[in-house]
Structure 1
């Protein structure tokens, strides 16, 4: 019997330490916050713990071009890809998004299960799975293997609350309001919003809309109550009402904003001129430059690009525009302004490094949640030009909730924003008037609040530490239970 006990404890020795499996959708906006979470977990978990970071093979190849599709190991973190059924690449211009998500579920379940099985055979069993949005099938896989799972919500808590109420008790009211973007929507414990401030998926009024098929994939995650457990890349200090809005129905814990330039991964080719771009910024006056970025997924017409470019030039202020290749080629040939001030158009940049640069005085942004948080953490006033998904909600938070920016009015004739509106908003934010002064004051104030929330010992830091400690306690209890069963 003593021999059996000894053998039992030796077998369990390898599972007495956590092994977090972080699974992310293969998009830049999902990968970076998930990677930052993985890095934080690696710092907080006991020595000898392990973290596996898994995204689709297509994204893994871009993150590690020389990996030859093989796992990559960096200290306690292993990068092991799963298959989404599009290993040769997904092209939104050719492939159907709904079909892609169905394929991702099918192939992802099979290959991720293989990763988990392999880890168990190596005596490093996965003890906790954390997954990002659009991957609710991961929770099904985790449940089948009796592994605890957590959704890592990479958008705002306000967007989470809007989706939660839509999928539960407010579907009719929100759907009715969707026909008029200016109509009022009141959700529990949230300030009044307009329909146009809600995530764009909730404003779809026709089943033929290109994004209509995506909503069911989101809905699946929100119908997992009461077992749904959520970590969110935000904090209660930033969005108190949103946390309170759903507190009675679902547990959502703020562990963000998770930020840090050194914890980024890029799916895009690095610009060889990057250091020269920074040298250009170094030559500009303090708080004089308009930084412009519409994210990694933006699809913009030539007309729209030209309209924004004209609006920027009319401010007669230097601008630094980080644009995807298809955007940058439209405007990069005429980067100089008549008065000698330069407009810099680049195809890639380390965004947080730019936002923290003393020369940057305004951020013209699409209001993706990562960019919104990075601008807030860096104390940079913003002009919001939201387009889809959670971006309108983030713009509402920025303008109405925090007062750190202004939202550009939508233009007519299919162009999201007119040149004159770009100019007006930039001048309001950067000018010497009362509105600009108040926005800049608020930006500094919220920068400090973000720091207080995320610094060691701050609320978000404490929440993440408590998450790790709770998992350790559950893990040890499970091991004791297993040992008692074996001994009996």
Structure 2
């Protein structure tokens, strides 16, 4: 029913080996090597940090099985230390999902419901995988509501890994019982403009009117049923976990991490930020040559993610702002020829580069000429930018992104592009002014200094990040050994 690589798990383990394995577990050996299966949601923003975590666990000598669909596995860089387990996505469950659509990148925002419906068809082959391989732990994602009961029935320990930061998780999601039973007291746009009632301290992490309206109007594509509701799925995912792992660290948001454990009633282990490493793999020489010709800390890097929906009007407003700011820029954008203003590329030729295909974001952000990052504030992108000490020009669009922007703006490591709070409109002049403040002007020195300081103390501190992951691995080892 599903395909897998030869070494992903043993297909025929003898009764004696099974007995020996159980005996070793019961002896609580401290050096017992684990088999950990990881299962991210079908989105690159989830798969990449899951893969980073997998690599770090594998370096400790543990066996890793990375579960996803064939096309998604093909997208990921292959790592010899990881067994990739391929579970074909059952597209036949709904004709609204194209045959090659296996991630959120492959479908419009309006069709995510169909992707979830197809994903739920993986429950049976997933169960077969667990029965055959018998991993010690399954590390699963927030929408995988059917994973915990299957794992518990088969005696597999359960860890929920959330790839968002703690503040965003808490504002979006309440206690699991509230999510499961549909009792969220927030029913209106006005309700989302204040922190939820389960946050006991003052905070600026909340939605503005136009952002709250987008949340309320988030498309469902006509796909109905409690099992396709994100709150219901996430509530069950939390309730079925034994531990919650999260992509953050205590040095960044201690009060939010503590609160998450309190409202979910589970131990919460910060995994660190899983920062990306800048490599020279697949870097075009012309990109580096262009960056090398620019002054230090003068280039504005612009990237709004691969899955964010940005209107043509917003793209044109950003383009005019980049044109007005007068600074060199490198813009990675999809369908540039469709959305950009007429004559834009010709007018900025030499000063600005527009690239409509994939670009090595980590390598660009790590270059000494880059002095600012225009970002949609997806948590992975923010982590990548701050890992290299680049201050942020923030243009959040939807979901957790506005919440991330509020938190980081409060830390003064970047500035949001001003928008009309009622309708989200903005001017190209405000774009240009915000870019210049953060990157070039004396007024923005605080952002540049704070971004550099956070790189040294948190985002780029390898020792700190390694300690976080080591704590999580030690928890898995001790719990499996019965300690």
TM-score, length-scaled by structure 1: 0.80
1:18-75: per-residue Cα shift (whole Å, max 9, x none)? Answer: 111111122111111111000110112x3xx3101112223123337xxxxxxx7x43
Counterpart of 1:112 in structure 2 is 126
Counterpart of 1:242 in structure 2 is 256
Counterpart of 1:28 in structure 2 is 44
Counterpart of 1:483 in structure 2 is none
SS state at 1:130 partner: strand
Q: Is the 8 A contact 1:293 1:322 kept in 2?
A: yes
Aligned length: 445
Counterpart of 1:408 in structure 2 is 417
- Residue 228 of structure 1, CA deviation: 4.5
Counterpart of 1:438 in structure 2 is 446
Counterpart of 1:448 in structure 2 is 456
The CA distance in 2 between the partners of 1:433 and 1:446, in whole Å, is 19
Q: 1:245/1:232 Cα in 2 relative to 1: closer, same or farther (>3 Å)? A: same
Q: Is the 8 A contact 1:83 1:104 kept in 2?
A: no
- Residue 397 of structure 1, CA deviation: 1.2
Q: 1:342/1:327 Cα in 2 relative to 1: closer, same or farther (>3 Å)? A: closer
Counterpart of 2:268 in structure 1 is 252
Counterpart of 2:6 in structure 1 is none
SS state at 1:161 partner: helix
Whether 2:227 is the aligned partner of 1:196: answer: no
Q: 1:353/1:197 Cα in 2 relative to 1: closer, same or farther (>3 Å)? A: farther
- Residue 161 of structure 1, CA deviation: 1.6
Counterpart of 1:277 in structure 2 is 287
State which of 347, 362, 376 in structure 2 corresponds to 1:352. 362
Counterpart of 2:304 in structure 1 is 294
**How do 1:197-216 and structure 2 match up within 5 A?**
204-205=215-216, 216=229
Q: 1:312/1:229 Cα in 2 relative to 1: closer, same or farther (>3 Å)? A: same
1:92-140: per-residue Cα shift (whole Å, max 9, x none)? Answer: 349732232122112x112222333443xxxxx3111111232232223
Counterpart of 2:90 in structure 1 is 85
Q: Is the 8 A contact 1:129 1:150 kept in 2?
A: yes
TM-score, length-scaled by structure 2: 0.80
State which of 74, 79, 95 in structure 2 corresponds to 1:61. 74
SS state at 1:285 partner: coil
Counterpart of 1:313 in structure 2 is 323
Q: 1:89/1:251 Cα in 2 relative to 1: closer, same or farther (>3 Å)? A: same
SS state at 1:158 partner: helix
1:338-395: per-residue Cα shift (whole Å, max 9, x none)? Answer: 6952334342112111111111111000000001111122111111111111101110
Counterpart of 2:378 in structure 1 is 368
State which of 427, 434, 455 in structure 1 corresponds to 2:436. 427
Q: Is the 8 A contact 2:377 2:405 kept in 1?
A: yes
Q: 1:322/1:340 Cα in 2 relative to 1: closer, same or farther (>3 Å)? A: closer
- Residue 292 of structure 1, CA deviation: 0.3
Q: 1:118/1:14 Cα in 2 relative to 1: closer, same or farther (>3 Å)? A: farther
The CA distance in 1 between the partners of 2:22 and 2:115, in whole Å, is 39
State which of 390, 393, 417 in structure 2 corresponds to 1:383. 393
Q: Is the 8 A contact 2:276 2:387 kept in 1?
A: no
Q: Is the 8 A contact 1:182 1:194 kept in 2?
A: no
- Residue 210 of structure 1, CA deviation: 6.1
Q: 1:199/1:232 Cα in 2 relative to 1: closer, same or farther (>3 Å)? A: farther
Q: Is the 8 A contact 1:155 1:233 kept in 2?
A: yes
Q: 1:342/1:201 Cα in 2 relative to 1: closer, same or farther (>3 Å)? A: closer
Counterpart of 2:164 in structure 1 is 155
Counterpart of 1:175 in structure 2 is 187
- Residue 407 of structure 1, CA deviation: 1.2
Query: What 5-or-longer segments of structure 2 have no aligned partner?
Result: 1-14, 26-31, 92-97
Q: 1:327/1:299 Cα in 2 relative to 1: closer, same or farther (>3 Å)? A: farther
RMSD: 3.6
- Residue 168 of structure 1, CA deviation: 5.5
1:219-275: per-residue Cα shift (whole Å, max 9, x none)? Answer: 33334437452111110111112112233233221111001236999xxxx7xx832
- Residue 413 of structure 1, CA deviation: 10
State which of 138, 142, 145 in structure 1 corresponds to 2:147. 138
State which of 244, 255, 259 in structure 2 corresponds to 1:230. 244
Counterpart of 1:50 in structure 2 is 63
SS state at 2:54 partner: helix
- Residue 316 of structure 1, CA deviation: 1.0
The CA distance in 1 between the partners of 2:223 and 2:450, in whole Å, is 37
Whether 2:277 is the aligned partner of 1:261: answer: yes
The CA distance in 2 between the partners of 1:188 and 1:103, in whole Å, is 35
Q: 1:301/1:202 Cα in 2 relative to 1: closer, same or farther (>3 Å)? A: closer
- Residue 206 of structure 1, CA deviation: 5.8
Q: Is the 8 A contact 1:377 1:451 kept in 2?
A: yes
The CA distance in 1 between the partners of 2:199 and 2:258, in whole Å, is 9
- Residue 418 of structure 1, CA deviation: 2.9
Moved more, 342-351 or 215-224: 215-224
Q: Is the 8 A contact 1:411 1:418 kept in 2?
A: no
Q: Is the 8 A contact 1:200 1:390 kept in 2?
A: no
The CA distance in 2 between the partners of 1:294 and 1:62, in whole Å, is 20
